[in-house]
Structure 1
Amino acid sequence: MLSLTRRIREEILVIDRQTGEQIVIAPTAYRGNQVKIGIEASDRFKILRRELQGRERGPGPG
């Protein structure tokens, strides 16, 4: 795991070595002990919180 210190709008890039496609990650706000993070990626990537990985979503209400 890479651990970095970033200020607001200081971006981190994740680049696919084969395609050059990028994922941009940046802190957008701090409040108490929480950090808001912005992530930009193409539709090719599925982005979700780790605690939701593997959970199956049932049908919505109605």
Structure 2
Amino acid sequence: MPKIKTRRSAAKRFRATGSGKIVRRKAFKNHLLQHKGTDRKRRLSTMAVVNECDEDNVRGMLPYL
């Protein structure tokens, strides 16, 4: 049986925690940061757990996660 390819774009965006959950970065922290508040930028810096309705799609893109 052949190996399944990993989607490289997804491999750069998601990773697994020790308990097996998938985490992602939050959006809106790339540019135009001068008008965003410090608290908002700090909140956007934290990792977020992928929603359970999207988790099957991510696991399909990352078969060896």
TM normalised by structure 1 equals 0.25
Structure number with the higher helix fraction is 2
Structure number with the higher strand fraction is 1
Q: Greater relative contact order (Cα 8 A, min sep 6): structure 1 or 2? A: 2
